[in-house]
Amino acid sequence: TTARLTIDARFPIGEVRRRLFGGFVEHLGRHVYDGIYEPTHPDADEQGFRRDVLELVRELGVSMIRYPGGNFVSGFRWEDSVGPREQRPRRLDLAWHSTETNEVGLHEFADWLDKAGSELMLAVNLGTRGTLEAIDLLEYSNLPGGTTLSQQRIDNGRQAPFDVRVWCLGNEMDGPWQLGHRSAEDYGKLAAQTAKGMRQLDPSIELVVCGSSGAQMPTFGEWERVVLTHTYDEVDMISCHAYYQEHDGDIDSFLASSVDTDRFIEAVVATADHVGAVRGSDKRIDISFDEWNIWYQTRFHDVDQLSGIDNWPVAPRLLEDVYSAVDAVVFGSLMISLLTHADRVASASLAQLVNVIAPIMTEPGGPAWRQTTFYPFSITSRLARGEALRVQVEAGTIETAKYGTVSAVDAVATHDAETGAAAVFLVHRGRHEPVDIAIDISGFGDVELVETHVLHDDDPSASNTLEQPDRVQPRPLEGAHIEGGILHVTLPPIAWAALALKRIG
Ligand code: AHR
């Protein structure tokens, strides 16, 4: 089969903001303890952080990292996580039926981020706490000094403020599983009050209000409308969360998951713009896609197995999904969807980072390795620069049970006007035949190929494990070449690819 694509720097979508390549670290399972932090590991630094993990996080190229939850945040008292370690309380984490030791807290995590070269994004607890506690945390974090809370931060070792720019007003407040879950009406009022108070303290922060936990939520759409009606003037972004998996062997629908991401984003943008129109407001609300990934929620019942009044383990193995080559292809296509909406998706966070539905896995006392999904993230984060460009795609179609007729090929491009560097990101959803793709890049002028990567495996279920950490890796895309302004590539079935171009002369 064949496909024809046209890319032109005159079809810009919007700037590729670095925050699109964010991550998420939740106190959950072995993410923090026995993940990023393992003081007894031979490769631990003086603070107990694993150097090998830090190196992989830097290689992944994550910009801003959301912390400390997730569902965890809705039962969290931030004060527990600061001050002398030996005085920090041990608490129950009801969301994940675990014990939180608070050995790693705000200061330690901020130190880790400094080492990782990433920015801190904080979520406040609006499930079981309220406006005052959120303002207190903001004061503790961002006020230079002169008050009890800011002095506490200084006494706890941080003279300069953390200067946290982006704040989430709670987590998944539409979800019945959330501690303190409430109606859109009640949450909208609480979020608006909290946002106002936080802005009274620091008007320069950016605020994210909770949207839906997924487009499949029964309240989806109406939740956004009601919440934004209360908070429109007070917030900058509304969140989207989406997780995908293969259901009942329906691989075609799974491979088309990014169609759902596209529709989800477009529906939230439409709803936000509707609220703006009703209010006669010029202000535009952007999206913080602050949880996205592949997650086999039906395959892993580990959390449900944790129960009992006397069973609250520290750092149990939870949500340790092992990703296949197919998962990585779908994952890459989700990144294409985010870039395709770079005009309205201001920020996004891959959920999560280490051990817990993660691109990086670790073994206690042992090695750290890259899951299959590591590669599309690290390559896209490194190559997508400048502006995202709309790609005209003419390709065959695939019938899917979930999303109807979808294109067999999807793509997005980026172009950096300053350096002339360009990149093309492609997904081939077809399962049986390779596809020959002719990409008209004549609009770029004289360019040459500098890098090609294809992620595909003849065994789509192949994965990277402790025993075989490098089983699935991207390879150079053989045969890719430019002739007369046309870039020719052949993609195998079920493949994700990235190509980098540079201006000649
Ligand atoms: O990322 C795992 C969980 O998924 C998060 O804690 C929650 O926000 C979402 O439901």
Q: Which atom of ligand 1 is nearest to the CA of 24?
A: 1
Interval between CA 307 and ligand 1 midpoint (Å): 19
142 contacts 162 by C-beta, under 8 angstroms: yes
Whether pTM > 0.90 for this model: the answer is yes
Which residues does the annotation mark as catalytic? 172, 291
Helix (H) or strand (E) holding 399: strand 397-400
pLDDT digits over 484-501, tens only? 999 999 999 999 999 999
Within 71-175, strands assigned E span 91-93, 98-100, 119-124, 166-169
Give the 3-state secondary structure of 251-284.
HHHHHCHHHHHHHHHHHHHHHHHHHHHHHCCCCC
| Residue whose CB lies within 8 A of the most ligand 1 atoms, among 172, 174, 319, 349, for a mutation test | 172
Residue 431 confidence (pLDDT) above 80: yes
Identify the three-state secondary structure at position 337. Answer: helix
- ipTM of the complex model: 0.99
- Is residue 479 left, alpha or beta, with left meaning phi > 0 and alpha meaning psi from -120 to 50? left
342 contacts 13 by C-beta, under 8 angstroms: yes
pLDDT digits over 139-176, tens only? 999 999 999 999 999 999 999 999 999 999 999 999 99
Q: What is the CATH number of domain 17-383?
A: 3.20.20.80
Q: What is the CATH number of domain 2-9+388-503?
A: 2.60.40.1180
Q: Which atom of ligand 1 is nearest to the CA of 71?
A: 6
Report the interhelical angle of 222-231 vs 257-279 (nearest 10°): 40
Residue 303 confidence (pLDDT) above 70: no
Q: Where are the domains of the chain?
A: 2-9+388-503, 17-383
Main-chain phi, psi angles of 339, to 5 degrees: -65, -35
Nearest to 38, CA basis, from 368, 269, 381, 336 = 368
Identify the three-state secondary structure at position 387. Answer: strand
* Atom 9 in ligand 1: residue holding the nearest Cα: 70
Here the tokens at position 201 are: 């303290």
